[in-house]
Structure 1
Amino acid sequence: MADFQDKFEKICIRYFNDVFLFLKKLSKDESIAEEITSETFFKAMRSIDTFRGDTDIRVWLCQIAKNCYFSHLKKQQGLVDINDIEFTDNIDTIEEQIINRSDAMRIHLLLHNLAEPYKEVFMLRVFGELSFKQIARIFQKTDNWACVTYHRARNKILEQMEANNER
């Protein structure tokens, strides 16, 4: 048991800041990011035996973090203060739409239905703020592959938004 705790403690120390920064970028709120980061590592500790090792552990942790954040949003749905919503007239890029809280959930739903590896590459780039070089390393591919895959994912999301008249 002590060996497991030592190993998990090392995982926490190594990846805590990465998960926190991912959640801070996603939520735009430091206190929410801190709360959900703690919840993420608690859930990861309870389910570490389900980690198969076929992806980078940071990706696995960020996936847990994303799911925790979405659960948090569902709990908060209907408790949104109208003054917290930012309205803009002309949003050109998907990255700018993610910043807008009123559009974020629709984009997350579209992203959720996106096929792999597009979904994971997009999330790592936008939410994880990883470089194409880092993404390429995770997938054991070239930097160019990561860049092309990201742009294809972005285009697929934009096409879905246009088809749904959500843009």
Structure 2
Amino acid sequence: MAQDMSDEVLTAEYEALYRYALSLCRNEDTARDIAQDTFLKAISSKEKYSGNSSLYTWLCAIAKNRWLDICRKNSKVQELEQDIPDDSTPLEQRLDDSYCAMEIHRILHTLDDPYKEVFSLRVFGQLSFKDISSLFGKTESWARVTFHRAKKQITEQLRKDGKL
């Protein structure tokens, strides 16, 4: 294995991996489970890590596969959790933000792969284009173009629906 997989290294990656898992499933408990399962799988199969990508990218690939396993097992799509309103924000603004976010997610789920995945990885998972390209085995340029095409499709649909 090209990179040390010590407790310190894994602990440093946990928070970022948890955020990525949360971006996939939109459920804190499930995200924690995915992150934990990912680390267990990574430790048990560390000899498979070639070092061609960053440890984080490799962990994200494992987490994504774990999430897909959960989706197949449950055979249903996780619903978005509604945010609890924050009293420091005017009600109208909260509704607008929540509504806009729901619309973007609705449109996002109508996109074809890989647009849907690349957009989610970039926006919700906060992955770099380099990490995204590694996950798909493509070039960084491909990741950028795919992200911008997804963004354009979402924007066009929002305009078409009169939401932008």
Same fold flag (TM > 0.5): yes
Q: AA paired with 2:147?
A: Y
Q: Quick one: structure 1 residues 85 and 148, their matched pair in 2 at CA, closer, same or farther if it must change by over 3 Å?
A: closer
Deviations 1:107-145 (A, max 9, x none): 5xx42xx4xxx8985454134223xxx435887xxx988
Alignment partner for residue 66 of structure 1, among 64, 67, 72?
64
Residue of structure 1 equivalent to 2:5: 7
Give the structure, 1 or 2, with the largest relative contact order (CA under 8 Å, sep 6 or more).
2
Q: What's the % identity of the aligned pairs?
A: 32
Residue of structure 2 equivalent to 1:126: 123
Any unmatched runs of 5+ in structure 1?
A: 1-5, 159-167
Residue of structure 1 equivalent to 2:22: 24
Any unmatched runs of 5+ in structure 2?
A: 82-98, 134-139, 155-164
Deviation at 1:51, TM superposition (A): 1.0
Deviation at 1:13, TM superposition (A): 0.8
Alignment of 1:1-167 (within 5 A): 7-77=5-75, 84=79, 96-97=104-105, 100=106, 104=109, 107=111, 110-111=112-113, 114=114, 122=119, 124-130=121-127, 134-136=128-130, 147-152=144-149, 154=150
Q: Quick one: structure 1 residues 47 and 17, their matched pair in 2 at CA, closer, same or farther if it must change by over 3 Å?
A: same
Q: Quick one: structure 1 residues 125 and 155, their matched pair in 2 at CA, closer, same or farther if it must change by over 3 Å?
A: closer
Deviation at 1:58, TM superposition (A): 0.8
Aligned length: 129
Distance (whole Å) between structure 2 residues aligned to residue 20 and residue 85 of structure 1 = 17
Distance (whole Å) between structure 2 residues aligned to residue 65 and residue 30 of structure 1 = 14
Q: AA paired with 1:67?
A: N
CA contact (8 A) 2:14 2:35 kept: yes
User: For 2:45, what is the secondary structure of its paired residue?
Assistant: helix
CA contact (8 A) 2:108 2:116 kept: no
Q: AA paired with 2:37?
A: E
Deviation at 1:42, TM superposition (A): 0.6
CA contact (8 A) 1:19 1:62 kept: yes
Aligned-residue Cα RMSD (Å) equals 4.2
Q: Which has the higher helix share?
A: 1
Deviations 1:6-37 (A, max 9, x none): 83312311110111001111111101101111
